[in-house]
Chains A and B, each alone.
Chain A
Amino acid sequence: MTAYLLKRIIIAALTLVLASMVVFAVMEILPGDPARLMLGMNASADQIEVLRNQMGLNAPLVLRYLHWAAGLLSLDFGRSYTYSVPVVDLVRERIAVSLPLALIALALSTIIAIPVGVFSASRQGRAGDTLAMGAAQLGVAVPNFWFALMLIYLFAVWLHLVPAGGFPGWSAGIWAALKSLLLPAVALALPQAAILARVARSALIEVLNEDYIRTARAKGLPYRAVLWRHALRNAMIPVLTILGLQFAFLLAGTIIIENVFYLPGLGRLIFQAITQRDLIVVESIVMLLVTAVILINLLVDFSYAIVDPRLRAIPGKVRSGFPSGIAPKQILRAVQRFRETRNRSRGRQ
């Protein structure tokens, strides 16, 4: 098992290194000269050359990559071309918006999805179930940025209840800040909740078919008690696993939503940085997000290994022969389902 874990770690590290090279290479071929952009229409060629030297853009490619990579390792991301402040400071400011946004969205999504999932599972095949799952189908189909526009129209333009966009900053008071995060969080959460509700329902249905649940019911425990106390607790394992995994995608998924609501978060920063050719900022944030994804994937692999050392992490090979007990099967299914939902949610980030 140690060997397996070691292999996963090495692979993750290798992926990171490769990713950093890809990111750096992409930045190299991005058309447009950041120095030109900063100096504008009246700058002379000499001036641009001076600035390029100052920015270190004229150094050899390999040297620049090594310099940048070494900086990343020591958490020194360099200085933003446009804002001329350390990228670390910029990122810290922006995470203070994006992270709470993603967390609120995650919480909202859970609060909506779990009861719906339980409700549906307990009424499997009946009208309530059909209705709830129909709504979930609809939720999955709604592009979150369009949903965001509709929310803006309803609550900001029509009812004047919340600001249509912008972020007053945490210094303006927690309430004011939360208020401006509310609509974006709802817009992000709804499609996620739709996916999660479907997963929660099927996980629950699966647990309800397990022998020990039947035993519990045979013993005369009321259905409600079995559902909430036993089944849900066990079905939570896959649901929680997926929640954890969705989180990284929510963080990245804020790119469009932050642009709709003009929130000064990571997503908006990276979007601006791309158009302003603030390459160093783009590189840093992309690496940050990639690292988050890789780390979370690594954690999933670890959880695999912990529950079943024989597993080597691909659903295709997973067919039979699980050890007894509930956890392994469920986590595996969860991961399997996560891969499905991830594929589903890829398009919506």
Chain B
Amino acid sequence: MTMRIDLPEETIAGVLAKAFGNRSFLIGLAITLLVVAVALLSFVWTPYDVTKLVIADKTQAPSWAHWFGTDHFGRDILSMIMVGARNSIAVALVAVGIGMGIGVPLGAFAAARGGLADEALMRVNDLVFAFPALLSAIMITAIFGPGAVNAIIAIGIFNIPVFARVTRAGALAIWPREFILAARAAGKGLTRITVEHILPNIATLLLVQGTIQFALGILAEAGLSYVGLGAQPPMPSWGRMLFDAQTRMVTAPWMAIFPGMAIVITVLGLNLLGDGIADILDPKSRRRR
């Protein structure tokens, strides 16, 4: 999300006041916290043990004993969704971390140095963007084998150019500013200016982009797991649950309905949160939305 950057001129209290008046932000935050809470809860308690297969209870429809029904191994779907939240959050979080950790320094470097370094970075970006993301992720997992770690790497790699691009665009907008010129005149080096002045000023931008990529990461993980390339059993994963459900749509539709809803709600929450943050911290973006 490329947007105009302005120095935060508001006080923390002002921002907070705005936050509590922003519907997107509040709903998004509530949903996100709920998902995180459920994921954390699953470490200490789930209604049933998801590692225990109870073949005798397989594909039971939703009931009081199993609110969301059971899967083809007799596992409780509600419990699996709770544990699956862990996997989704972890994969998306680490993937965003990879993207930021590598993409932001690259983008900032390109903006600071310009010239050949910039050009080279942009060309590599072009190259990565030329490949449809899912296709590349499928090939990466085909080489290294399916699994949660490789899914993280595949998704993370595609976050790198996104963050590099956003950082570079944001930084380029800051560099010509007067206070940067003043800093240069004071003899500060490129690295120091980047760390002390540029990055703090594009933090908002990165936060918003991070939220979007986080939501995308969850969708991407679900997509990869759905084609069998993400998390592997016995680790429950939302996409994996949909994969198992696909061939049982006729007899056990609940196996597909509930994990899918978990994905939708989580992504919706994150998107609302991202929009809300953008609104609160960057008033100019409000008009565009």
- Enumerate chain A interface residues (CB-CB to B < 8 A): 11, 14-15, 18-19, 22, 26, 29-31, 137-138, 140-143, 145-146, 149-150, 152-153, 157, 164, 198, 202, 205-206, 249, 252-253, 255-256, 259-260, 270-271, 274-275, 282, 286, 289-290, 293-294, 297, 314-317, 319, 336, 339-340, 343-344, 346-349
Contact = CB atoms under 8 A, between A and B. Distances in A.
Interface string B170-196: 111100000000000000000000000
Nearest to A202: B288
Given A141-B264, A317-B172, A293 B132 contact: yes
Given A143-B222, A150-B256, A152-B249, A349 B2 contact: no
A270 B131 CA distance: 14
B198 interface: no
B156 to A, nearest CB: 13
Given A256-B227, A316-B172, A349 B132 contact: yes
B98 interface: no
Given A146-B263, A149-B242, A260-B246, A346 B256 contact: no
Contacts of A260: 246
Interface residues of B, number: 59
B226 A349 contact: no
Interface in B202-250: 209, 212-213, 215-217, 219-220, 222-223, 226-227, 242, 245-246, 249-250
6 contacts: A137-B275, A202-B289, A206-B288, A271-B227, A289-B131, A297-B129
Contact of A145 (B209, B242, B250): B242
B284 interface: no
Give 4 closest A-B pairs by Cβ, nearest first.
Answer: A316-B169, A252-B132, A347-B216, A146-B260
B151 to A, nearest CB: 12
A214 to B, nearest CB: 16
A255 B134 contact: yes
Contacts of B226: 143, 145, 256
Contact of B271 (A137, A255, A259, A315): A137
B267 interface: yes
State the main secondary structure of chain A at its contact with B.
Answer: helix
A290 B173 CA distance: 31
B143 A344 contact: no
Contacts of B129: 293, 297
A164 B249 CA distance: 10
Contact of A289 (B132, B256, B257): B132
A319 B176 CA distance: 12
Interface of B: 1-2, 111, 122-123, 126-127, 129-135, 138-139, 142-143, 158, 162, 165, 168-173, 209, 212-213, 215-217, 219-220, 222-223, 226-227, 242, 245-246, 249-250, 253, 256-257, 260, 263-265, 267-268, 271-272, 275, 287-289
Contacts of A289: 131-132, 135
A346 B216 contact: yes
Given A343-B212, A347-B219, A274 B132 contact: no
A336 B122 CA distance: 16
A15 B73 CA distance: 48
Given A15-B123, A255-B134, A256-B134, A137 B268 contact: yes
A145 B223 contact: yes
Contact of A157 (B142, B222, B250): B250
Nearest to B140: A26
A31 B146 CA distance: 12
Given A297-B126, A340-B2, A349-B132, 16 more contacts: A15-B123, A30-B143, A137-B271, A138-B264, A145-B223, A146-B242, A153-B256, A253-B134, A271-B227, A289-B131, A293-B132, A297-B129, A314-B169, A317-B169, A339-B165, A343-B162
B158 A19 contact: no
Nearest to B162: A343
B134 to A, nearest CB: 5
Contacts of A344: 212, 216
B268 A138 contact: yes
A347 B220 contact: yes
Contacts of A202: 288-289
Contact of B264 (A142, A253, A297): A142
A275 B131 CA distance: 19
Contacts of B216: 343-344, 346-348
A149 B249 contact: yes
A286 B222 CA distance: 22
B2 A339 contact: yes
